[in-house]
Structure 1
Amino acid sequence: MANTPTLMLELLTSTLAQPGLGWVAFITVVAGIVYGFAGFGSALIFMPVATIFWVPELAVASFSVSALASLVTLVPRAWGQMDKPSVFTMIGCSVLGAPIGIYILRVSDVVHIRWAVLAVAAVTLAALVSGWRQKLSEYRATQAGVGFSAGFVGGATGLLGPVMLLFQLSGTAPVAQVRANSLVFLTISSLLLLPSMAVQNMLSGQAVALGVLLLIPYGAGAMLGQAIFIPRFEVFYRTTAYAIIAIAILMGLPIWD
């Protein structure tokens, strides 16, 4: 039986040989920068491109592991600005919705999931660019429904942000609080996808290794994005995020295969 160092070396070798790793590492840096200055958009950028090279479950799991970086780089500053009761309610309910979404991810055809990722990303981008707003109640029941829906969509496609982000934008909270709510929700909910994936045998050593490897570019990008964020230029940052998300969606279209 191979010893532990040999197994670790084999895992590292196979991880570094993963197809498209260079492209995915690059897009991870870009996703981190956008996440740092906009407070959203990282998965909308990462998933369309990563699923060109990797099967969706590998992309979802590795990106969830890389979210560990945000616990250090972004969450500490956002923690004091967020609406804690609202965010905790949504996180708790996202944990309930995620296993159902992960099951859908596990049993669905890879191409169908890729199109689903692109469809969710495109609809979200269209809503953001158009300035769509749908006033929703801010009762706990609504927040619970938003969290459950976000968990379900996140489990199936890796895109936890769209449902929660559109709900946040429908309210009247200050921009700083919306950004903080999104940062904390997305970071913690991404990490909480991992136990559900493990239970359904979708968290491989390869996924964990790739996620750990992506921690560095993602964390570095997030720190850079946070450092260059200037609140009075919020419209510029948001427009930049929209443009990058659009490029990622176009790159991820299966028709280019």
Structure 2
Amino acid sequence: MSDILAQSLAIPGLWVMLATCFIAGLVYGFAGFGAALVFMPVGTIFLPVEAAIASFNLATIVSIFTVLPRALPLVDRRGTATMVLCALPMVALGIWVLKQADVTLLRWAVIAVAAVTLVALVSGLRYRTTPGPATRAAVAGVTGFVGGSTGLLGPVLILFQLAGQDSVARSRATILVFLTITSTLLLPLMALQGALSPSAIPLGFLMFLPYGLGTKVGQALFDPAREGEYRTVSYLIIAAAILLGLPVWD
């Protein structure tokens, strides 16, 4: 284990990834979304996509303790639990695709999903109808597949929630609860398919502190009355991560 830890400490770009983890946690804490959108474009510069997904999702387990308790009372627990259950089989399918696909292609997929999500969010996309169980199940399934194959669990759900009519606080809480639980459950699914490399585990633990600290700071900063400011800052950070993560810089 000491050898694996030493290898993790020697990974090129480690300090950049740790700093990015803090920023990702900060965004997640105050906006309720965007952590993977911040980290994955940068993390995949230094790590294979599988390792970036595994280590980052291990780090995000800390969200169970830092942000989940305050978010749970605000959500429809039954509806959110149903969405998590609908997402998991598609997460497993997405992981299988992750194992088969070309690394460079996956990096471009990460960038593309993040960019499309950002454009849709900035455009202010909204829907007026109340989604039923079938719609929520479909959204959860697509969310799971995209998350399993690219590490970006958030985009589809973010668009679904932020384009709806829920209050800022409830939308944020729903996204937080879904992403925190699903990200945690993604890890055993990766392990079952042999996609959880031993080297990702100590790296994930190294990311625990900066990510957890970021979520606490972000949560302390959250104020529903300043929604516009939060979204603007989050969008700018996501855009910067997308630009930095472009494979053309390799």
TM bucket normalised to smaller: over 0.9
The amino acid across from 2:186 in the alignment is L
8 Å contact kept, 1:66–1:212: yes
Once the two structures are superposed, the pairs formed by residues 59-74 of structure 1 within 5 Å of their partners are: 59-74=52-67
1:23-172 aligned within 5 A? 23-135=16-128, 137-172=130-165
Give, as a single letter, the amino acid of the residue that structure 2 aligns with 1:117: V
| CA gap 1:136/1:200 in 2 versus in 1, 3 angstroms | farther
1:187 aligns with 2:180: yes
Q: Distance in 2 between matches of 1:124 and 1:191?
A: 22
Structure 2 gap ranges (5+):
none
Letter in 2 for 1:130: S
CA contact (8 A) 1:29 1:220 kept: yes
Contact 2:124 2:163 in 1 (8 A): no
Partners of 1:137 and 1:104 in 2: CA distance: 32
Separation (CA, whole Å) in 2 of partners of 1:20 and 1:156:
23
Per the TM alignment, residue 136 of structure 1 is displaced from its structure 2 partner at its CA by 5.4
Q: Which runs of 5+ in 1 are unaligned?
A: 1-7
Q: Compute the displacement of 1:230 (Å).
A: 1.8
Q: CA distance change for structure 1 residues 72 and 245 in 2, over 3 Å: closer, same or farther?
A: same
Provide the rounded CA distance (Å) in 1 between the counterparts of 2:11 and 2:104: 19
Q: Pick one of 208, 217, 220 that aligns with 1:224.
A: 217
Aligned to 1:80, the other structure's residue is in SS state helix
Instruction: Pick which of 34-43 and 77-86 moved more.
Output: 77-86
Correspondence for 1:176 among 169, 187, 190 = 169
CA distance in 2, matches of 1:128, 1:212: 31
CA deviation string 1:118-149 (max 9, x = no partner): 00000000000010124454211111111111
SS of residue in 2 equivalent to 1:197:
helix
The question of whether the paired residues in 1 share the 8 Å contact of 2:153 and 2:183 is answered with: yes
Amino acid at match of 1:218: Y
Equivalents in 1 of 2:82, 2:5: separation in Å? 38
Structure 2 distance, partners of 1:97, 1:51, is: 22
Q: CA deviation at 1:20?
A: 1.1
Structure 1 pair 132/210, CA: closer, same or farther in 2 (3 Å)?
same
Aligned mates of 2:142, 2:108 — CA distance in 1: 19
2:5–2:203 contact (8 Å) kept in structure 1 = no
Aligned to 2:208: 215
Give yes or no for the alignment of 1:10 onto 2:11: no
Match of 1:4 in 2: none
Q: What is the TM-score of this pair, normalised by structure 1?
A: 0.95
Cα shift readout 1:153-181 (whole Å, capped 9, x = no counterpart): 00000000011111112321111110000
Is this contact kept in 1: 2:128–2:165, CA < 8 A? no
| Equivalent position SS for 2:64 | helix
Percent identity, aligned pairs only, is 53
Find the counterpart in structure 1 of residue 240 from structure 2.
247
Residues 52-61 or 167-176, more deviating: 167-176
